[in-house]
Amino acid sequence: MLDQLLDAGFEVEFTNHAGSILKHDFKRLADELQQALLGISIPISEIVGRGGGEAKVTQRLRHNLADLGWVKHNFEITKSVDGIPKESVSHEIDHVNRTANGTLALEIEWNNKDPFFDRDLENFKRLHAEGAISIGGVITRGSSMQESLRRLVRKFAEDRKITSFRDLEEYDAGSPTRPQKEQVEADVGRGTSFPAAWSRKFCSDKFGQATTHWSKLNDRVARGVGNPCPLILVGLPASIIDMAS
C-alpha cells in the first residue's frame, strides 16, 4: 500500500496489520491520502520564514484533505451508571474520514514539541479501544528531511549571498534574539562563514531534536505508545523541498 509514496521517497510504516486493513477496507482513503501527499511541495523560503501560527505546508495539506472529506472531529466518550453520566472525555482529531467499513483518524505534526506524539498516539489508543476508530495515522518530517535541513538552509543563504542578519530581513526570517545573534557572530568571529553559522543555529533552534520528526515518532511506537491501535506513519522526504522558491 502507498507504493507511490515509497517510490517518491516518503517513509511509510504500518503497525498491527494497518497495511492489510488499509488495503482491504480503506482503499479509497489510501488513494486519497497518497494523492494529497504527492501534491505537496515546500518552498525553502517557507522553512526559513518567520515562525508563529501553523506552517503553510500544513495548511495546504489540511485544505487538500478537507476537500476530500477528511475533516476535524471532536470525539466525546461518556460513561454512565444507570443512565447517569459519570465521566466524559473528548478527543479532538484534525482529520477524520468515516466509511461503511470504519473510521480513519489522522494527525499532522510538522513541527511541534515532540510530546505531541504521545498525545496523538494515546488518543488513537483510547479511541480504538472504544471502537471509535479503526486506524490512526501520523504525518511528520521524515528522516531525510530532518537530516538535510541544515544543509539546505545553508545552501539557501549561500545561493542568495546572505552574509548578515540584515540580508535576512528580505526573506522574513524573523528577528534573532540577543543570544542567537551573539552565538552566530561569535562563530563568524572564529572563521565560520555566516551561512554556516546562521544555518546551524537556526535549524538547532527551530527544527531541533526535541521537535516532531520521524525518529522521535518511531521511538515512541517502538516503546508501544499507542499500541494496539493499528497505525500508519508517514515521513515527509527532503525531496519535496523546493530550493528555487
Q: What is the pLDDT of residues 155-203, one digit of tens each?
A: 999 999 999 999 998 888 767 888 889 999 999 999 999 999 999 999 9
- 135-141, strands of its sheet edge to edge: 11-15, 231-236, 135-141, 102-109, 84-99, 71-81
Mean pLDDT of the chain: 93
Domain-wise residue ranges, the chain: 3-145+206-242
Instruction: Give 68 or 54, the one with higher predicted confidence.
Output: 68
Q: What is the pLDDT of residues 110-169, one digit of tens each?
A: 999 999 999 999 999 999 999 999 999 999 999 999 999 999 999 999 999 999 999 998
Query: What does the pLDDT read at residue 52?
Result: 52
| pLDDT(90) > 70 | yes
Mean pLDDT throughout 59-82?
91
Pairwise CA distance, residues 98 & 4, whole Å: 23
| pLDDT(53) > 70 | no
Give 25's contacts (C-beta < 8 A, 6+ positions apart).
99, 101, 102, 134
Q: What's the predicted TM-score (pTM) here?
A: 0.93
- Using pLDDT thresholds of 50, 70 and 90, give the confidence band for residue 245: confident
Query: What does the pLDDT read at residue 175?
Result: 76
3.30.390.50, 3.40.50.720, 3.40.91.20, 3.10.20.520: CATH of 3-145+206-242: 3.40.91.20
